[in-house]
Structure 1
Amino acid sequence: MNYNFDQLYDRRRTGSIKWDFNQRIFGREDVLPLWVADMDFLAPEAVVEALVNRAKHGIYGYTDGMDEYYDSLTAWMAERHNWQIQRDWIVFSPGVVPALNELVRALTKPGEKVLLQSPVYPPFFQAIKNHGREVVNSRLNLVDGRYLMDFEDLEEKFAGGVKMMILCSPHNPVGRVWRREELERLGQLCLTYDVLVISDEIHSDLIYDGYRHIPLASLTPELASQSIVCTAPSKTFNLAGLQTSNLIIPNEKYRAAYKSSAGLTGIHHPNLFGITALETAYREGREWLEQLMVYLRGNLEFLTSFTARELPQLGVVQPEGTYLVWLDFRALNLEPKALQEFLVHKAGVGLNAGYSFGPGGEGFERINIGCPRSILTEGLERIKRAWA
């Protein structure tokens, strides 16, 4: 079937973080929200129907994933990412952010060093600090409009006693889809210096033509044993509110440690509707996802052409994956918080402040293009008028 991603849906009064809390988040109600990473599109029709049918059953007792749950995930990984995973590697989590916190707590000790690569998703920093670990940052380098890993800096930091690395793959917010040779070089460094890699691959299905996501743990058995992959259908199929994600942990020692730690907080079973949505999305959502990626590519091309024509001073870092785009506002010469004030109170748009992504984010903003083109157009027109 054909999906209409231009269709507008009113998300107000649904408890939407994106649409119902402008006053609390931005200090004014009339901001156009183009920030938090969920999309303004309906989930695949098959998922909606499956959830409605499950709701009609009328009994919502304790549940857990049956064979269909695991089979749908293992089949998706094999078909989509050419990665053969075993059922017993899969461990449930209500979300990737809770999982990151649990993994830091379970697999490192207070005071130990955990590395990340900024600018990067802000909860990475918090997951390290929450548990008394030391943040070690290896900044990505922006070279000719494209972000690259600094392997020399990584090796120096690893040699300084880093115990764990949190990798963002694909990278949020800069949109890089790491190439095989980059992952292999990173993986070799992690093996050499005995660094455990937590790879957040939640955006791994949202890849533009010409690029391919490679799960870090799929490269070699040795690296699989030294890494943990965090995944979920939430970004792919717009299911974040159902609080269902999975960790893929090939190493039995790490898997047992995570389960033991998670058990202390009482986390045991997936959400009933999350189970249904995951099974259905991975089994029947491919056509919807293919059409989504065509639409997102169109949004990206529209954004790029609009800024080139109407806002040539505004830089667009071209993403290779995700529906998030990293915008370069440095031509405005505003301090980081002044830039956010400008966008909220002059332009009336709500973007993610670049400085919140850590060193290297100053002067940038993250925009979410996972919306009907008319909403994206309105947001860009607002920025244009304010800039003028």
Structure 2
Amino acid sequence: MNCNFDQIIDRRQTCSVKWDFNQRIFGREDVLPLWVADMDFQAPEAVIEALVHRAKHGIFGYSDGMDGYYEALTNWLHQRFGWEIQRDWVTFSPGIVFGLYQLVKSLTKPGDKVLLQSPVYPPFFNAIKNNHRELVNSQLIFENGRYVMDYKDLEDKFSNGVKMMILCNPHNPVGRVWEREELERLGKLCLTYKVLVISDEIHGDLIYKGHRHIPFATLSPEIALQSVVCTAPSKTFNLAGLQTSNLIISNPDYRQAFLATRDLTGIHNPNVFGITALEAAYKYGWDWLNQLMDYLQGNVDYLISSLVQISHVKLIQPEGTYLAWLDFRDLGMDPKELQKFLVHKAGVGLNPGFQFGPGGEGFARLNIGCSRSTLEEGCERIRVAIDKLDLHV
């Protein structure tokens, strides 16, 4: 079945964070929202049909995953990544951010050092600080238009008492799909200094041709026992509102600690529609995902060609995710001035780079999980606004 990703679906008046709250978020209603990481595409038809079928049953009592749920997840991970997991390693979380908070709380102590690599997904910072842990940053190195890890800095900080690292794999917002050699080098350091790794792999299915996602726990049995991998169908199949994620925890001590902390929140089981959607997506969503990645690659190609016509803006080539990291530094604006310009002069709502921490200043994140025509409009708005500036080349 051919999927029509060019179709424009009006998401307004659906309680959409992306489309229904422009005034509250940006201060004006007519902003074109290209920010929060969900897509403007319908989920796979098999998922929609499964949800409709389940809704028609009409009873929505307490629920939990049955054999089909776990088989769909384990088969997906095995067939896509060659990763064989055991059913009892799977622990439910209503979202990966919730899971991060509980993992930091359960596997470290107040005052412990927890490391991240900026620029990175903003909730990482809050998961550390709000749990009263010490935030340690090892900023990525930006060289030759590409981000790489600073291994010397990592080792210096690991040797100074870091207990946990939150890894973004693939990396949001810079679009890196970490290669095996990079992850193995990181893993070796983590084993040497006994650093527990929480690997957020929510974008792991969204990989462009020429790149391959490597789940961190697959590097070695030793690394698997010193790590937790966070997964979800939400980015892959546009199911974020169903709030169903899974943390893969092979270390029984880590798993017991996480479950004890999670259960104190009163959250135990996934919701009935999340269960249904995950099972259908992982069983029947393969062709849809292949078509999606072809379409997203087309959006990347369009963005590259469009930026030829937009002066002073560069794209950091994404290797994965549907998030484009744009470099606006040549405009010479300070971070707040740049955000004001994009919203009030260009009329586009992007994620400002400074929200992603040190190294994000002068950048912005643009969501290309939208129709080509929406992306075209966003690029044109930016081009027109920049052309009106008095810039000296």
Secondary structure in structure 1 of the residue aligned to 2:181: helix
- Distance in 2, matches of 1:103 and 1:8, equals 39
Indicate the SS of the match to 2:262.
Answer: helix
Partner of 1:78: 78
Whole-Å separation in 2 of the counterparts to 1:178 and 1:214: 8
CA positional deviation for 1:89: 0.3
Q: Is the 8 A contact 2:352 2:363 kept in 1?
A: yes
- Cα deviation for residue 67 of structure 1 reads 0.4
Residues paired across the two proteins, number: 387
Aligned to 1:122: 122
Q: Deviations over 1:257-277 (max 9, x none)?
A: 000000100110001000000
Match of 1:62 in 2: 62
CA displacement 1:154-188 (0-9 Å, x = unmatched): 00000010000000000000000000000000000
What TM-score do the two structures reach when normalised by structure 1?
0.99
**Match of residue 46 from structure 1:** 46
Distance 2:265 2:259 in 1: 10
Question: Could you tell me whether the CA contact under 8 Å between 2:171 and 2:177 is conserved in 1?
Answer: yes
Task: Provide the residue aligned with 1:295 in structure 2.
Answer: 295
Distance in 2 (alpha carbons) for counterparts of 1:319 and 1:382: 22
| Residue number in structure 1 paired with 2:328 | 329
Distance in 1 (alpha carbons) for counterparts of 2:146 and 2:160: 28
Aligned-partner Cα distance in 1 for 2:291–2:263 = 40
AA aligned to 1:9 is: I
Give the whole-Å Cα distance in 2 for the aligned partners of 1:48 and 1:216. 32
Tell me the CA shift for residue 71 of structure 1.
0.4
Q: Which amino acid aligns with 2:236?
A: T
Could you list the per-position Cα deviations for residues 187-217 of structure 1 after superposition, in whole angstroms to 9, with x for gaps in the alignment?
Answer: 0000000000000000000000000000000
Which amino acid is 1:172 matched to? N
Q: Which amino acid aligns with 2:368?
A: I
Q: Does 1:265 align with 2:238?
A: no
Determine if contact 2:335/2:354 at 8 Å carries over to the other structure: yes
Matched letter for residue 6 of structure 2: D
- Name the CA distance, whole Å, in 2 between partners of 1:324 and 1:82: 26
Q: Hey, what does 2:13 align to over in structure 1?
A: 13
Deviation at 1:136, TM superposition (A): 0.1
Q: Which amino acid aligns with 2:55?
A: A
Q: Following the alignment from structure 2 to structure 1, what is the Cα–Cα distance between the partners of residues 343 and 160? A: 41
Residue equivalent to 1:362: 361
Partner of 2:378: 379
- Report the Cα offset of residue 66 of structure 1: 0.2
Rounded to whole Å, the distance in 1 between the matches of 2:40 and 2:273 is 20
1:349 maps to 2:348: yes
Distance 2:61 2:105 in 1: 30
Question: Where do 5+ consecutive residues of structure 2 fail to align?
Answer: 388-393
- Distance in 1, Cα, partners of 2:312 & 2:32: 22
Q: In structure 1, what is the equivalent of residue 390 of structure 2?
A: none
> In the alignment, which residue of structure 1 is the partner of 2:221?
221
Deviation at 1:312, TM superposition (A): 3.7
Partner of residue 315, structure 1? 314
- Rounded to whole Å, the distance in 2 between the matches of 1:237 and 1:363 is 31
Instruction: Measure the CA separation in 2 of the matches of 1:13 and 1:213.
Output: 36
In 1, the alpha carbon distance for the partners of 2:210 and 2:199 equals 22
1:338 maps to what in 2?
Answer: 337
Letter in 2 for 1:89: W
Determine whether 1:274 maps to 2:274.
yes
Residues 114 and 165, structure 2, Cα contact 8 Å, conserved in 1: yes
Deviations 1:105-129 (A, max 9, x none): 1111111100000000000000000
Which whole-Å CA distance do the structure 2 matches of 1:167 and 1:337 have between them? 27
- Matched to 2:103, the amino acid is L
Task: Determine if contact 2:311/2:386 at 8 Å carries over to the other structure.
Answer: no
Query: Hey, what does 2:391 align to over in structure 1?
Result: none
Name the SS for the 1:187 alignment partner: helix
Is residue 20 of structure 2 the alignment partner of residue 25 of structure 1?
Answer: no
Which whole-Å CA distance do the structure 1 matches of 2:199 and 2:230 have between them?
6
Secondary structure of the corresponding residue to residue 197 of structure 2: strand
Cα deviations by residue, 1:4-28 (Å, 9 ceiling, x for unpaired): 0000000000000000000110011
Match of 2:194, as an amino acid? D
Aligned ranges for residues 142-157 of structure 1 at < 5 Å? 142-157=142-157
The share of aligned pairs that are identical, in percent, is 71
**Residues 141, 150 of structure 2: 8 Å contact kept:** yes
Paired residue type of 1:359: P
**Which whole-Å CA distance do the structure 2 matches of 1:90 and 1:40 have between them?**
29
Aligned to 1:180: 180
* Cα distance in 2 between the residues matched to 1:320 and 1:136: 26
Moved over 4 A (4+): none
Corresponding letter in the other structure for 2:99 = A
Query: How far apart, in 2, do the equivalents of 1:196 and 1:312 lie?
Result: 43
Question: How many angstroms apart in 2 are the aligned matches of 1:52 and 1:303?
Answer: 36
Distance 1:79 1:259 in 2: 28
Q: Within 5 A, what are the aligned runs for 1:130-145?
A: 130-145=130-145
- Measure the CA separation in 2 of the matches of 1:316 and 1:41: 23
Amino acid of the residue matched to residue 329 of structure 1? Answer: F
User: Using the alignment, how far apart are the partners of 1:143 and 1:271 within structure 2?
Assistant: 44
Contact 2:206–2:293 under 8 Å retained in 1: yes
Instruction: Give me the whole-angstrom Cα distance separating, in 2, the residues matched to 1:92 and 1:245.
Output: 6
> Tell me, which stretches of 5 or more residues in structure 1 are unaligned?
none
Give the 3-state SS of the residue equivalent to 2:155 in structure 1.
helix
Distance in 2, Cα, partners of 1:280 & 1:298 = 27
CA RMSD of aligned residues (A): 0.4
2:139·2:358 contact (CA, 8 Å) conserved in 1?
yes
